[in-house]
Structure 1
Amino acid sequence: MRRLAPVAAAAAITALLLAGCSAGGSSDTGAPAVEAPTGGVAPEPQVDGESADAQFADRSVITTGWMSITVDDPIATAEDVAQLAERAGGRVDNRSETPGTGTQQPRASLTLRIPADELDGVVEDLRGLGTVTSVSMDASDVTQQRQDLDARIEALTASVDRLRELLATATTVTDLIAIESELTTRQAELDSLTQQRDWLVDQVDFSTLTVELVTEAVAPDPVPDDFWSGVVAGWNALVAFATWLGVAVGVLLPWLGVLVVAAAIVVVVVVLATRGRRHRGPAPTATTPQHEASRNDTPRA
């Protein structure tokens, strides 16, 4: 017991010193100690604003949007939309324009790639080009996917480096072939993962915004509801028909001339052939020897 007493005393002193150091370390942080309520679990400490902002900044979010804007001239406004995207540091990935026809209104569609931090400003600028009839935004968090790709790329990069070191120190042909085969396989997988990560980073850094530009439909002409409006409508219809008929005649006139010439040639050929037959007369009838003998045997009167 006398031998164990100094050991116990030293252990007690060490425990006290450790407890003092722990207390001093906790008091230096300046945060009050959290006591757990009886029969419960101590609540987790709250995260301050700076930590929350840091976590939000580390997130990877893909944002896609769609806007429909009614403007006076969709074709001309499409150029303004493209310039807005370029000024914001973005680009136009797809652009289609449909001019107006008698049965279809003009429209234009653009697919924009806008830097993620400039998307809100571009949307506000687009609102000033016309009347926004529809807006849709969608955000997809791909933080876990990006972290997984980064981890796999890092591990594969280290593996490829080790294989290259082994390849440099290989002494037999068998080892050399085996290492080269494995190195080729892992390098191909590394390149594939790198391409996936680069595509994901591009989707995160540049938001995709599709802009549809349309115009209001022109109101149809009112239906005539009295005598004079009926006369005016009939006259307009007559003028339109006469115009259309003149155009049709103008289109058919060259063809009619060709048909007349062809018909005249056919008539001339037929007339010449008929006259030739009349001048030659009927063809003589050939007599056979039997007919000649029978004619000679006939008694004369």
Structure 2
Amino acid sequence: MSLRPYEADPFERSRGRLEAIAYRLLGSAGDAEDAVQDTFLRWHAADRERIETPAAWLTKVLTNLCLNQLTSARARRETYVGQWLPEPVLAGDRMLGPAETAEQRESVSTAMLILMERLSPNERAVYVLREAFGYAHREIAEILDLTESNCQQIHRRAKQHLSSGRARTEVDAAAARKVVEGFLAAALSGETEPLIRLLTDDAVGVADGGARVRARRTPVVGALGVARYLRGLFRPGAAKRAEAGGRAALHAAVVNGSPAVLVAAGERILAVLCLAPTPEGVEAVTIQVNPDKLERITRRWAAAGPHHPLAEIW
């Protein structure tokens, strides 16, 4: 039995917020979409006349579905091949959710999504609902079936786990393009020294191929090591051209609030390199090449075209 428009409306009004909560909790756009769809199925089957506040009911159902997924995801990531990185999301995608405050923007950054993997499911849920969506501790307690004082303790503990100590540089599209242009000039120079000058001394390079695509399985640490690693990635080669199906185009973008290089073959995104700029330099380069995690960003990128590349490689 299908829902009549007035029955579906409360869910549709909440869909964007639900997607944004689920993405922050799971770090995967695909899993977030599944969680939102499962929430819709629960809404469809519910006795909706008994639900006094649909938005609160939907948030509670979605959050608990995500908590269940987080528990099983921890087991899956213990056997994940290589490094696990979150799924990149392009600027303008509603899955990124609200971005009015620094806390909201930070909660969806690649660095924060990686850090949140350290948290327990309850810590992650409390942190996301409080910091990114401004829920009161009383409301979070009702969602998670905890006491309000317990939620406050969990929130303090989560913030302690997530404190990084280094200021993150926020960027708009123009600033991101400038960062990417400088990065590509160094990366395509064929020299190591220009890249070293762009990086912090303790810079980290991490790649996620998910056993689907060749990628380094351990992080690279230190400016010299990361610079050499990046120089190798951008060096032309027949094998790279074959994997890309020809030459690949390099584009500047904003992904998860950070400057990013999109490597594209036509309208297909082959890789996303997210740069984490700080006042001291780029402190991390995260490289997503797992095709399973590039489906949504590829769709969004293709829909927003045409695009004009900054350079071509391979």
TM range (shorter): under 0.3
Tell me the TM-score normalised to structure 2 length: 0.19
User: Could you say which structure has the higher helix fraction?
Assistant: 1
Greater gyration radius: 1
Tell me the TM-score normalised to structure 1 length: 0.20
Instruction: Select the structure with the greater relative contact order (CA < 8 A; seq sep ≥ 6).
Output: 1
